[in-house]
Structure 1
Amino acid sequence: MQRLPMLSAFTACAVLLAGAAHAADTTATPAHSRFNPLQTFAPFAYQYPVNRYRSASGVPGPDYWQNRADYAISATLDPAKKELSASEVITYTNHSPDTLHMLWLQLDQNRYRTDARGNFSGDKEPDAASHTDGYRLKAVEVAQGKTFKPVHYQISDTRMRIDLPQALKPKDGQLRLRIVYSYTVPGRFGGRTDWYATKNGDVYEIAQWFPRMAVYDDLRGWDTLPYLNNEFYLEYGDIDYRVTVPANMIVAGSGELVNPDQVLSKTQRERLAKARGSEATVMIRTPAEVEAAARGPQPKGTKTWHFRMHDTRDVAFGASAAYVWDAARIDLPSGKHAMAMSVYPVESLSGKGHWQDSTQFVKHTIEYFSKRWLEYPWPNAIAEAGKVGGMEYPGIAFDWWQTGGKPLFGLTTHEVGHFWFPMIVGFDERRAAWMDEGFNTYVDMRAALDYQGGKYAPKCDAEYAPGCTNPVEEIQSVLHDADAPPILTKPDMIREKYRHPVTYFKSALGLNLLREEILGPERFDVAFRRFVHAWAFKHPTPSDFFRAMDSAGGEDLSWFWNGWYKHNWSLDMAVTGVSYVDGKPSHGAKVTVANLDRLVMPATLRVNYVDGTHADVRIPTATWQQHHSFDVLVAGDKAVKSATIDPDHVIPDGNRANDTFTLH
C-alpha cells in the first residue's frame, strides 16, 4: 500500500568480545523498576495451533491445502462514461476436506458506495461527491452442464454470498461461476484506484475491478472480513483477461501481453525486442510521440489488449493515451530474464518528476530481491505513474506521478518490494498488515543500501522524519505512548496516526533487531529465506512466522514475540555501578547492569579506560531470566573511566540518561 515514510537506515553493530564475563548473584529489584522476569519470559501464546496443515517448524504441514481460483475476464473501459463493464468466469477448485454449500466473494467496488461500512470506520469520511454506486450486477450464474443458470446470491457491504444449487465436493471438486457486471470508475478516493486528467489525455488506474473469491482456509473456513480500506487476502490461480479500450490508448497490465501484434505498432514491437536485450532503458513510446498523437487525428474504433498471468492472486492495469513507455531487461539469478517497464504522462518528466529513472529503479529492485530472497516469477514488472500515489498489485505498482530521484527510488522499491510481500508470500493483509508492510519496509531498506553504493540510503525524508535521527530513538514515541496499539492489533482497529509507525516502522525495526542484535545475520538470513521459500504462493500466518524463526533461527524468541509484537513494551537498561575487584584496577572491574522495564534485549556493555581504550562484553537476554540486576566481571588491569550499556544506540533503550556510569 502507500509507502512508509522514508526513514534512516538501521544501524548495524559488530561487537568485539573482550575478556570473560562472570557475575555475582544480585537478584534485588532496583527502585522504580517495572521489570518482572516471570512476565517478560512467559510462554508465548501462538494464535494458531500446530496440526497436520501447519507444522511446529513454521512451514506447511504434510496435509496443507488451499483452494484455487482461476479467472477468465473480458472487460471494456468506456472513458466517456468513466465506466468499466465486464464478464468473468471463475473456475473454483475446492481442495479442502470440506463440502461447500456456499461461496463468498469480495466486491471491493462497493467500498465506494455512500452506505459502505468503510465510510464509518476511518478517521475521515469522504465527501459525497467522491462516491459511486458500486457494482451493478447483471448476472450471477453457476454452470450446470454446458450452460450457465442464475443462482441465488446475497450482498452484504463488500461481500457476496452465493448459495449453490449443488454442494461442491471436497478434495478437488470444481465449478464454474459467471458474473456480468459494471461500475463507475471512482475519482481519487481510497488510495487504490482512480482516474485523472493530463494535457494529453486521462489516465486510468484500474484495480480491485472484478469480483474475486474470498479465501476458504483451515483457520476459519470462509474469511469474510469486509473491505473497510485495509488490503487483501486472496486465492491464487491463473488470470486471463482482455481489456477493450479506445484505439488511441495504451494498456499496461499485470502479467504478459499475449497479443502484441494486434495492439502495438511495428516500431513499438521492434523497440520492445531491443529492450529485451538491453541493460539500459529503451524508449518504447517517446514524449514527442505522445504529444504528436494528442495533436493529430484520433484513430477510430477500439483495441482489445489480452494479458495472462500465472500463479497470482490478483491483476491490475493502467490505461491512457497519454502514456510515455520505456523498458529494460531484468537479469535473474537462474539466467532467465524478465522486463522492467514504466508508463507515465509527459508531466512526470517536468518539475519534480524524473520518471526517466523509474525503469532502472524497478530493474534494480527485482534483481536485488531475486538474488537475496526468491527469484521473481513473472515476465514483467511495471511502474505506472498516477495519483494513487503508492499502491501495489502483482507485477504492477501505481506510484506518484510527480516525483523523482530519491523519493521515487524509495517509493518504487517499496511498492515493487510488495511483489514479494504479500503477492508471492500470501499474507492476510486484512488481519496482519504488519507482515506485508513491515516485511517489505525492512527488505526495501536493504535494497536502498545496495543501490549504487547506497546512493539513496539512508532512507530519510524531512517531510516524515525531521532531523532523521537513529530509528531506534524515533520509535520511542510509540513505545511510550499508552494509546499506541501493539503490532498484532487487527488493522481495522489501528488509527491512521499509528498506521505507519506501528504497522510499517515498528514491524520493520523488529526484523532488523532480529537480524543485527538477536540472531545475527547468518542465522536470520537462513531462517527468513527458508520461510519465504516455504510459503511462496501460500497463506502463512503470524504463528507460522514466529515458529519458523524460532525453529530455523535456533532460538526460543518468546520474550521478543511477547514484548515487541503482542505488547507495546519499552526497554530501559542501565549501568548502576562500577567498582574494582578487590578494590584494585589490576584485578578487573565489576560493572552492575540492570533491566528496569518490561522489554529485554541483548546488549553490548562497553568499559572505557582512562588511557582511551575500551573493552566490550555482550550481555545476553538469558541474563534477565533470574535477575533484575547483574554484576558483570570484566577482565583487565587498567583504570576505568566509565561504563556504558548500548554505546552505539542500536537497541531501543528509552532512557539514555542511565546508560552510563562514570567513575570520579
Structure 2
Amino acid sequence: MLLAISVNAQKRRTSAADTVTSNYYAPDLFAPMFHKQTGNTVHSPNGNPGPKYWQNRADYTLKANIDTTTKILSATENITYTNNSPDELNYLWLQLDQNTYRSDARSNHVTAYSSPKHTDGYQFSSVQIMVNGKPEKVNYTVTDTRMQLRLGKALAGNGAKISILITYKYTIPGTFGNRTDYSDTKNGKIYEIAQWYPRMCVYDDSQGWDTLPFLGAGEFYCEYGDFDYEVTVPGNMIVAGSGELVNPADVLTPTQISRLNAARNSDKTVMIRSAAEVTDKSSRPAKPTLTWHFKMANTRDVAFGASAAYVWDAARVNLPDGKKSLAMSVYPVESVGVDKWDRATEYLKKSIEYFSQKWFVYPYPVAINEAGVAGGMEYPGIVFDGITDSGKDLFWITAHEIGHNWFPMIVGSDERRFGWMDEGFNTFIDVYASDVVNHGEFGPKRDGEYAPNGGNPADEVAAIINDPDAPVIMTNADAVPEKYRHPIVYFKPAFGLILLREQILGKDRFDYAFKNYIQQWAYKHPQPEDFFRSMENGAGEDLAWFWRGWYFNNYKLDVALIDAQYADRETKKGLKITIANKEQMAMPLTVEVTYKNGGQARMQLPVETWLQNRVHVLTIPTTREVNYVRLDPDAALPDANRANNTFKIK
C-alpha cells in the first residue's frame, strides 16, 4: 500500500489545477438530512421492522376449473382477511389483474403499443362476505383493475377477521397475455396461469391501501398467507403448481410417484415422464378429468402451468443445515435437447443451492421451471421460461427468474412502485450466481440483463447516466418508458449494488448488512427507506451521498488526471499528481502507478477525498522512475471519460 501526502486544492493549487473546469459541488452531494423521516416503532431507525411493526394477512382457498374448449377459467374463492393494523377498515380493496386485458383498461394507454386482442376480464357471479356465520351480498364497485368492497360494518383492527366469498370466471388470454396465456405445441396446448384470482391489496403504514392499477411494467405487491387450491383439468393434462401437490395418488400413475420419490434422493435429474411417454396414454390415469390439489404456506401468491404436452423431470435440492427441496421442470418435446431443457432442472437446482447458501435458505418444498411463451416470469415456487431457451441463456433466465423468490417473494417489497427493489436486487444476485455455478460455466454474466451490449458494464451504465432523457431509479415503475425499463429498473440498480460491494463497502461489510436486511424483512414489507437505513447501519457507513447521487439523481462521474510530475523534478522526492472531480458524482478511487523497470503499486482514495475538494493533489512517496499513472485501472467505476484517466510521465 502506498502512502500519500494530500494538499487541500482549494488552498494550495498547482498551476495545472488552476485551469480545471469542474461541475462538482460537494455541499450538494454530501448534504445532511438525507432521511426525510425519523425512525419509529413500526420502521426502526436502524432499518429493521420496529417493535410495533404490523402487517395484514390474506389466506386463500381456491377451486378452479379450466374449460379447454372455451378457454374459460371458472373458480370459487374464499379469502380469510386478517386486519392486524390498528385501524378500523370501512372498506376493503382487491386487485383484479385480469381486467388489464379489457379493451377499456387503463393499461392500453400507457405505451404506444396496445394489443389489438382483448378479453372481458373478470365476470362475477357473486361477491359475498360472511356475517354471523352466513354469506351475505356485499356492496362492491369495480374500477379498472381494482374492486372495492363497501362494508356495512367496519372491520375492527388488531387482529379482526373477515371471510370474503367470490365466484367468478374469465377467458384466458392467448399469447398476447404476456404473463399468463395459452399457446400451441405439437402435443397440445400449454396453459400458463397467473394472476388468476382476485387478490387482496396491501394495507400498510406507508400508503394505507395500495391501489395502484395494474398497468403492466409495475408488477405486484401482495399480502402473505396460506394457500389451499385445487385445479380441475382434463385427465390427460399435467398441472405443475406453486407449493406441494398433496394428492399425488389421485393424479399420477404409480410409476410417476415412484420416480418422484427417487428424484427426492437424487442429485442427478430423474425423468418423471419422458418425451416418449408424452404420447403414451398409459402415462396418465384413465379419467376424463382430474383435480390437482396444492398447498403452499406463508406465500404471497401462487401460479401454475397445465398441459398434456409436458415432459417432466426432477432432482433433489440440497439446502443448508440438511434441509431439502425438489426442483422440477416441465416442457414440451420441442424443448428437449442436450443443450436445451434437458439441463433446466440442473440449472434450477444449482441456482437455488447457491442463493440459499449465500443469502437466505429457500423456504418452499418445490421449485418448478415451466416452459411456455411467457418467456421469463416469476411467481412463488414457479417460473415461466421460454420454450426456445438454450445454453447460457437458459441458465441465465432460470437463475434470474428463480432468484425472484428472494426478491420480492421472500423480501416482500412493493414492486408496483419500486421496481428496482425487485429487478435490480435480483439482477445483482444472479450476476454472482453465474460466477459460481458449475465453477463459472456460464460466467461472467456481463451481457443480457447485466450489460445489454456485452461490453464493460461500468461504461454502459455511464452511457445511461449521460443520457439526458433517462429517468432516475426512484421513478415510479410504470412511469419508466420501455426504452429505459431495463437500464433503469434492472441494470443501474444492480450495478450500484456491485459498486457498494466491491468498491465502497467491501465484500465482508456489504454481505453482512445485505444478509441482515433479508433476514429482518423476510415475509414482510420493506420500503426504500428501510433498505437505505439497513445498509448504513449494518455496514457502519453514511451512504447518503450514494443514495442521493445514484438512486434519486443520475449524477455523472468523471475523475481526471490533470498533472503528474516528480516533486522538485527529482525522482527520489516522490511523484506529485493532481486529480480533479469534474462532474457531480463522487466515488472512492484506485490510483495505480506503473514503474519503468516493471511492477505496479496501488493506493486507495476514500470518497471523503471529495468532501471539500474539486481538485486533489497528493504525493506518492516513490523513489523509482514511473512510466505512467492511471485512475481506476480496472475500469470498475462508471467514468464518463476514461481518456483523461491516464498520464504518461515525461
Shared fold per TM-score greater than 0.5: yes
Distance 1:224 1:136 in 2: 20
1: distance between equivalents of 2:616 and 2:442? 42
Range with greater deviation from structure 2 (387-396 or 587-596): 587-596
Do structure 1's residue 21 and structure 2's residue 4 form an aligned pair? yes
Match of 1:68 in 2: 57
Aligned to 2:110: 121
Which digits, 9 at most, give the CA deviation of each residue in 1:586-605, with x for residues without a partner? 01111111100001010101
Aligned match of 1:337: 324
CA distance in 2, matches of 1:97, 1:659: 57
Q: How much has 1:467 moved relative to structure 2?
A: 6.3
Task: Determine whether 1:274 maps to 2:262.
Answer: yes
Q: Which moved more, 1:586-595 or 1:150-159?
A: 586-595
Give the TM-score normalised by the residue count of structure 1. 0.95
List structure 1 segments (4+ residues) > 4 angstroms apart after TM superposition: 296-300, 460-467
Structure 1 residues 79 and 488, CA gap change in structure 2 (3 angstroms): same
Distance 1:190 1:653 in 2: 41
Q: Which moved more, 1:131-140 or 1:474-483?
A: 474-483
Q: CA deviation at 1:607?
A: 1.9
| Partner residue in 2 for 1:186 | 173
Matched, 1:204 2:186: no
Amino acid at match of 1:283: M
Once the two structures are overlaid, the 10-residue window that deviates more, 474-483 or 43-52, is 43-52
What's the % identity of the aligned pairs?
52
Partner residue, 1:225: 212
The aligned counterpart of 2:574 is: 588
For structure 1, which segment, 112-121 or 468-477, has the greater mean C-alpha deviation from structure 2 after superposition?
468-477
Partner secondary structure for residue 174 of structure 1: strand
Aligned to 1:241: 229
- Aligned with 1:437 (options 423, 428, 432): 423
Change in CA separation of 1:30 and 1:124 when aligned onto 2, cut-off 3 Å: farther
Rounded Cα–Cα distance in structure 2 between residues aligned with 1:487 and 1:293: 52
Q: 1:663 corresponds to which letter in structure 2?
A: I
Q: Structure 2 CA distance, aligned partners of 1:509 and 1:627?
A: 26
Match of 1:92 among 81, 91, 112: 81
Q: Give the residue type in structure 2 aligned to 1:77.
A: I
Q: Which of 654-663 and 248-257 deviates more?
A: 654-663
The offset of 1:436, in angstroms, is: 0.8
In structure 2, relative to structure 1, the CA distance for the partners of 1:585 and 1:628 (3 Å cut) is same
1:188 Cα deviation after fit: 1.6
Q: Structure 1 pair 44/267, CA: closer, same or farther in 2 (3 Å)?
A: farther
8 Å contact from structure 1 (residues 44, 562) kept in 2: no
- How far apart are 1:73 and its partner, in Å? 0.5
Distance in 2, matches of 1:466 and 1:603, equals 25
AA partner of residue 256 (structure 2): Q
Q: Would the alpha carbon gap of residues 101 and 463 (structure 1) be closer, same or farther in structure 2, given more than 3 Å must change?
A: closer
1:132–1:273 Cα change, 3 Å: same
Count of residue correspondences? 643
State the Cα distance separating 1:135 from its structure 2 match.
Answer: 0.1
Q: Is the 8 A contact 2:251 2:285 kept in 1?
A: no
Secondary structure of the residue aligned to 1:291 is: coil
2:104 is paired with a residue of what secondary structure?
coil
CA distance in 1, matches of 2:224, 2:637: 39
Q: 1:461: Cα distance to partner?
A: 5.1
CA contact (8 A) 2:427 2:450 kept: no
| TM superposition shift of 1:615 | 2.1
| Residue among 148, 152, 155 paired with 1:168 | 155
Of structures 1 and 2, the one scoring higher in RCO (CA 8 A, sep 6+) is 1
1:105, 1:353 → 2: CA distance? 43
2:387 maps to amino acid: W
Of 494, 504, 509, the residue aligned with 1:518 is 504
- How many angstroms apart in 2 are the aligned matches of 1:288 and 1:225? 47
Task: Tell me, yes or no, if structure 1 residue 154 matches structure 2 residue 141.
Answer: yes
Distance across 1 between alignment mates of 2:580 and 2:499: 20
Aligned equivalents of 2:471, 2:38: Cα separation in 1? 24
Matched, 1:313 2:300: yes
CA-to-partner distance for each residue in 1:325-381, whole Å, 9 max, x for gaps?
Answer: 10000111020111000001111115x971010001010011111111111111000
Post-superposition shift, 1:460?
Answer: 4.7
Of residues 228, 244, 253 in structure 1, which corresponds to 2:241? 253
Report the CA distance between 1:324 and its aligned residue. Answer: 0.6
Distance 2:646 2:616 in 1: 15
Distance (whole Å) between structure 2 residues aligned to residue 498 and residue 459 of structure 1? 20
**Residues of 2 paired with 1:440 and 1:597: CA distance?**
30
Following the alignment from structure 2 to structure 1, what is the Cα–Cα distance between the partners of residues 334 and 504?
A: 47
The question of 1:531 aligning with 2:517 is answered yes
Q: Hey, what's the Cα distance between the residues in 2 that align with 1:464 and 1:172?
A: 43
| 8 Å contact kept, 2:46–2:534 | yes
Moved more, 60-69 or 298-307: 298-307
Is 1:324 the equivalent of 2:307? no
CA contact (8 A) 1:279 1:330 kept: yes
Counterpart of 2:107 in structure 1: which amino acid?
A: G
1:450-599 alignment, distance < 5 Å: 450-460=436-446, 468-599=454-585
Following superposition, the deviation at residue 386 of structure 1 comes to 0.2
- Partner secondary structure for residue 559 of structure 1: helix
Q: Deviations over 1:212-246 (max 9, x none)?
A: 00000000110100000020000000010000111
Q: Cα distance 1:466–1:516, how it changes in 2: closer, same or farther (>3 A)?
A: closer
Between the aligned partners of 1:48 and 1:537, the Cα distance in structure 2 is 24
Please report how far the alpha carbon of residue 262 of structure 1 lies from its aligned counterpart in structure 2 after TM superposition: 0.7
Q: Distance in 2 between matches of 1:119 and 1:642?
A: 57
- Partner SS state of residue 549, structure 2: helix
Q: 1:465 to 1:648 in 2, by over 3 A?
A: closer
Question: What SS does the aligned partner of 1:537 have?
Answer: coil
Distance verdict in 2 for CA 1:461–1:614, change over 3 Å: closer
CA distance in 2, matches of 1:384, 1:30: 61
Contact 1:30 1:628 in 2 (8 A): no
Aligned partner of 2:130 in structure 1 is 143
CA distance in 1: counterparts of 2:314 and 2:112, whole angstroms: 40
**CA pair 48-177 structure 1, distance change in 2 beyond 3 A:** farther
User: Aligned to 1:289, what secondary structure does the other structure show?
Assistant: coil
Question: Which ranges of structure 1 fall in alignment gaps of 5 or more residues?
Answer: 1-16
Residue 408 (str. 1) matches residue 394 (str. 2): yes
CA distance in 2, matches of 1:533, 1:30: 51
* SS of equivalent residue, structure 1 residue 556: coil
- Supply the distance in 1 between the matched residues of 2:209 and 2:179 (Cα, whole angstroms): 24
Distance 1:242 1:233 in 2: 23
- Aligned residue in 2 for 1:79: 68
Q: Assess, with a 3 A threshold, how the Cα gap between structure 1 residues 232 and 470 changes in structure 2: closer, same or farther.
A: same
User: RMSD value over aligned CA atoms?
Assistant: 1.7
Taking structure 1 as reference, are residues 462 and 537 closer, same or farther at Cα in structure 2, changes over 3 Å only?
A: closer
Residues 157 and 469 (structure 1), Cα distance of their counterparts in 2 relative to 1, 3 Å cut: same
Q: What is the CA–CA distance in structure 1 between the aligned matches of 2:265 and 2:616, rounded to whole Å?
A: 62
Distance 1:47-1:146 versus aligned 2 partners, 3 A rule:
same
**Partner Cα separation in structure 2 for residue 218 and residue 419 of structure 1:** 24
Once the 2 structures are TM-superposed, how far is the Cα of residue 190 of structure 1 from its aligned partner?
4.4
Equivalent in 383, 404, 407 of residue 369 of structure 2: 383
Matched residues in 2 for 1:254 and 1:45: separation?
41
Deviation at 1:635, TM superposition (A): 1.1
Alpha-carbon contact 1:30-1:629 (below 8 Å) kept: no
Q: Secondary structure at the match of 2:411?
A: coil
Kept in 2, the 8 Å contact 1:353–1:401? The answer is: no
- Distance across 2 between alignment mates of 1:503 and 1:460: 17
Secondary structure of 1:426's counterpart equals: coil
Q: State whether structure 2 residue 111 is matched by structure 1 residue 132.
A: no
> 2:95 aligns to what?
106
Report if the CA contact (8 A) 1:353-1:403 is conserved: no
2:619 alignment counterpart: 633
Per-residue deviation, residues 264-317 of structure 1 (Å, max 9, x unmatched): 1101100001111111000001111102339x9994521100000000000000
Report the counterpart of residue 369 of structure 1 in structure 2: 355
Give the CA deviation at 1:466: 7.5
